[in-house]
Chains A and B, each alone.
Chain A
């Protein structure tokens, strides 16, 4: 057992662009320090959700304490996607240093840059590492130059490594100890602890992960959450190994957990400050902001009987996901469902996938929408997160929509195509910066609504996968927007309505009805499919009636097989949503979003 001293503590994160090897490096560090024995090891040990492993991304932050040569090394893992950049910033605020991981064949990418700036702005000591040097197409020299040009970091400071092959791990551990400063803050000052993550445990309630910035957190004492001013009793504190290891006190500089009977992650917000109720800190730690969902969509059960089941599942997910919001909504077309709010499109997809996979619910998801701000004539403001509640245009003075600052990092040869794509998505070009002759960063301002309609996929496709991006919300901007209605069989379908820019309405309308014509199967009657703005139709297609659907041959040997065939067909129809008298497949609702270009 080592003697505890704050000078022996190092708190650090690993920051990297997606796929640059963050989880593999974490695995190697855990192995090398003996925190986890080889036989317990499985890949991406910190990514505990199946989804995380499958998608190769980290959704939840995690932390783990290692001991190495008399030092305590706390690794605070960060989420790896732009949807979760606030969580990244809080994790970084809990550290004194960061390993900046860059792929030796890919070089610096948008999130490398965005996360590195976050770390630099939080005054973190950066340890640059070039990873995957074992790859045949690795170009460490080129990446060294890039790091020098972009961050002004000398080549001699960079560690060359291959996490996969275990190369450079010792050097990294030594650099963590030598280069990253120990935490400051006195154990005698009033308590300030930063919550950087939390999870819900069905037996013990919310487990908050925190970093003690100053003071001491004692088991049994009363604490105050400074964000919501709620008081709790500390039931248990401890440190984070592969599991939770109880420890009666946590001192300034330490990273650990707190269990205090909180039943809901919402009461234990990431970024909030924990202090002692009897002797509270004067000021909370800086940087706390309540999470606001940016993207909304409706989730409806395909079988109306699943409504309660869906509600139950959402509540369960919410216990562990402070960013997920939902409230009941009803649609004339789809019946009862929920309007859900998400941090971004990935967050939405993850929740949808978990509902379908873990809870076995067949869902119809309506097209994602952002929050529009409508300023009414004669004053007053409306916030619209659902196209179906778009007001009558006659009462609208101005409509505003959320805009982003978008940074795209790309090999220079794709800049032209990326500009074309982004401008087509109503992006406004702001400038281009060269990091070296072949790598550039283009910046734009663009509506969030365009970002969530498959911008990322298109960006990847025009740049053959080389471009990467990062974005941040900058504010609301007036826009000429209209509500585009879709009519099936002459009836407007509220769940298919979208809010679009006026200039794009015609094109979107035309694409939409064509796509719906493809997706909706033939029925025994003809189905007109129209797009309209107000009462004005702008596009129309007709799905012809089913003319012939009959098993023409059926004799003694066929009967059971044919019955089963019919059962299968019927099962397929059950998975569709009936709107009026039209069966609409789930895909049709998503088609509203994915129109390609």
Chain B
């Protein structure tokens, strides 16, 4: 039987963070009940023959929802979920012990905590609504509530962050013994408050900006590389497996849901702006409530009607790009099974060049990033797009 992963987008936040470019709204909590109803409509439309492999509540801030609201959503899957991985993203500023206990009772078995930093000044710069102490409490409460799979998200290359303060954040995160860690470098995305601050005054030198009359400087490329390098080496020494460019886990605790993305497998996204990928086709839901509600209420026609087929070439490029993100790399066998051709037949010249430049390792069974390639992955991905 075919399996599918389900992503559920919760586009509500107490407050928008300065770096966030996800579709989410800070002043629309009154819409949540209606939104839950719309999600239920969408869930109904998921073809019955598909078995649900994983569920991921992302945001926004899904932990902002009351356990009752989450229950309404999950119960709508009825008997279609048999012990899958069910994750929820969680902002430490939105949960207490009782809430986490309730989450656990609903069958949610993986917490992805948005810690971002263990330095209160940095948390403030990012516009987070919590302190480092609250991260500690949240992890403690999660354990008390029975969670055996807890992940922490961290961000590096923050304004005014030094290599030393990043090391401190990583060490403190590891002290909490999470099963999973994600480390991302800060990207200043268009439309975010950070983007405004860094781009509004072009007279300032690169990476320099002002916020509430304080001066900030983004770390340079060299520092950023050292930060990433530190995370890789330190986490490995502490028993974490580096399994994706930005992800580390204790053995067996890799995020199954995300691996579906990285294998460019099948998933259905429900909710505002959520993306789906099924049978080599992609679809994205509307990014505003008005259109979304309209669409969700017409779900009777099912997913099939809204999927756009795409050139096979794009599907191949994306599959390679995503699989190479995994440290195990791209399985040549899986590639051939999926596309009917050897990858080396399609990209001989590119692969030879990358190998010569020490950017990839080409083994009998796999194609994977080298250590150098991890830092320069875009140069590699670039070769496989048109």
Q: Which residues of A contact B (CB under 8 A)?
A: 522, 524, 544, 546-557, 559-560, 562-563, 566-567, 569-570, 573
Given known contacts A547-B222, A548-B228, A563-B321, is B375 in contact with A557 (CB within 8 Å)? no
User: In the complex, which residues 345-386 of chain B have their Cβ closer than 8 Å to any Cβ of chain A?
Assistant: 357, 359, 372, 374-379, 381-382, 385-386
Q: Is the pair A559, B277 in contact by a Cβ cutoff of 8 Å?
A: yes
Which of B10-18, B78-86, B199-207, B261-269 lies at the interface with chain A?
Answer: B261-269
Asked whether, in the complex, the Cβ of A557 is within 8 Å of the Cβ of B322, the reply is no
Q: Are B184 and A552 in contact (CB under 8 A)?
A: yes
**A563 pairs with B261, CB closer than 8 A:** no
**Chain A residues closer than 8 Å to B132, beta-carbon distance:** none
- Minimal beta-carbon separation of A292 from chain B (angstroms): 46
A511 to B337, CA, bound (A): 56
Complex CA–CA separation, A220 to B224 (angstroms): 80
Q: Given the known A-B contacts A556-B267, A556-B275, A566-B385, are A549 and B375 also in contact in the complex, defined by CB atoms under 8 Å?
A: yes
Which residues does chain B contribute within 8 Å of A551, judged by CB atoms? Answer: 245, 377-378, 381
The interface on chain B, measured as residues whose beta carbon lies within 8 A of the other chain's beta carbons, has a size of 43
A556 to B221, CA, bound (A): 27
Query: Closest CB of chain B to A542's CB: distance in Å?
Result: 14
Contact A559-B378, Cβ < 8 Å, known A553-B187, A567-B386: no
B314 at the interface (CB under 8 A from A): yes
Residue among A544, A547, A555, A569 making CB contact with B382, cutoff 8 Å: A569
Q: Does B317 contact A (CB under 8 A)?
A: yes
Complex CA–CA separation, A547 to B386 (angstroms)? 24
Question: Within the assembled complex, what's the spacing in Å between the Cα atoms of A79 and B185?
Answer: 58
B284 contacts which of A555, A557, A567 (Cβ < 8 Å)? A557
Is B359 a contact of A524 with CB atoms below 8 Å? Answer: yes
Do the beta carbons of B376 and A549 come within 8 Å of each other? Answer: yes
Shortest B195–chain A CB gap in Å is 16
Given contacts A552-B183, A553-B187, A557-B275, 17 further A-B contacts (CB under 8 A): A546-B376, A547-B222, A547-B225, A547-B375, A550-B377, A550-B378, A551-B245, A551-B377, A553-B246, A556-B7, A556-B275, A563-B314, A566-B378, A569-B378, A569-B382, A570-B385, A570-B386
- Residues on the B chain within 8 Å of A557, using CB: 7, 269, 273-275, 284
Chain A residue, CB-CB nearest to B244: A554
Known: A557-B269, A570-B382. A552 touches B245 (CB 8 A): yes
B122 within 8 A of A: no
B325 contacts the other chain (CB 8 A): yes
In the assembled complex, the Cα of A544 lies from the Cα of B325 at a distance in Å of 26
Q: List 23 A-B contacts (CB under 8 A).
A: A522-B221, A524-B357, A524-B359, A546-B221, A547-B375, A549-B375, A550-B245, A550-B374, A550-B375, A550-B376, A551-B381, A552-B185, A552-B187, A552-B228, A554-B261, A556-B7, A557-B273, A559-B264, A563-B317, A563-B321, A566-B321, A566-B381, A567-B385
Question: Assuming A524-B379, A550-B374, is B258 touching A555 (CB within 8 A)?
Answer: yes
Q: Is the CB of B318 within 8 A of A560?
A: yes
Residue B99, interface by CB 8 Å = no
Q: Nearest B residue to A522 by beta-carbon distance?
A: B221
User: Which residues of chain B in 272-303 are interfacial with respect to chain A, using CB atoms and an 8 Å cutoff?
Assistant: 273-275, 277, 282, 284
A560: which B residues are within 8 A, CB to CB? 282, 314, 318
- Cβ-neighbour of A554 out of B183, B325, B372, B376 (below 8 A): B325
CA distance A551 to B246 in the complex (A): 9
Q: How far is the CA of A10 from the CA of B382 in the complex (A)?
A: 67
Q: Which chain B residues lie closer than 8 Å to A567 at the CB level?
A: 385-386
CA distance A484 to B284 in the complex (A): 57
Closest Cβ neighbor of A525 among chain B residues: B357
User: Which 4 residue pairs of A and B lie closest in terms of their CB atoms, listed nearest first?
Assistant: A547-B225, A557-B275, A550-B377, A548-B225
CA distance A559 to B224 in the complex (A): 24
Given A557-B273, A567-B385, A570-B385, A549–B378 Cβ distance below 8 Å?
Answer: yes
B258: chain A residues at CB < 8 Å are 555
| In the complex, chain B residues whose CB is within 8 Å of the CB of A552 | 183-185, 187, 228, 245-246
- Measured in the bound complex, the distance between the Cα atoms of B284 and A554 in whole Å is 16
Cα–Cα, bound, A557→B314 (Å): 15
